[in-house]
Amino acid sequence: MSVVIVGGNDCMVRRYKDLCKQYDCQAKVFTQMKDGLKNKIGCPDLLVLFTSTMSHKMLRYALNETKGQDNMIVARSHSSSMSALRNILEEHAS
């Protein structure tokens, strides 16, 4: 399963990827708005949006880039903690 995480904390990127690996998921993490974000998201199975740590512009880019993908799951969380990501992965990746 492929997972794209948008938002979150810079210092937590490695921990997010390690947790996704425990659930047999490949993860891409975008914590900041950078050039080419629109082209790098791709077609994930699960899109995780940590809404408290991302800008509105970043949210719009992520949702517009993945618009029209019927088999993709979008999970939003206001918290960007490890337990929030674990709960999302428990629900959708197991």
Residue in 50, 56, 39, 40 with CA at minimum distance from that of residue 13: 50
Surface-to-core class of residue 11, CB atoms within 10 Å of its CB (0-12 exposed, 13-18 middle, 19+ buried): exposed
Residue in 66, 75, 94, 83 with CA at minimum distance from that of residue 5: 75
Q: Can you give the C-alpha Rg of the chain in angstroms?
A: 12
Note down pLDDT in tens along the chain; length 94 residues. Answer: 999 999 999 999 999 999 999 999 999 999 988 776 767 888 889 999 999 988 888 888 888 888 888 889 999 999 999 999 999 999 998 7
pLDDT value for 48: 95
Question: How far apart, in whole angstroms, are the C-alpha atoms of residue 73 and residue 75?
Answer: 6
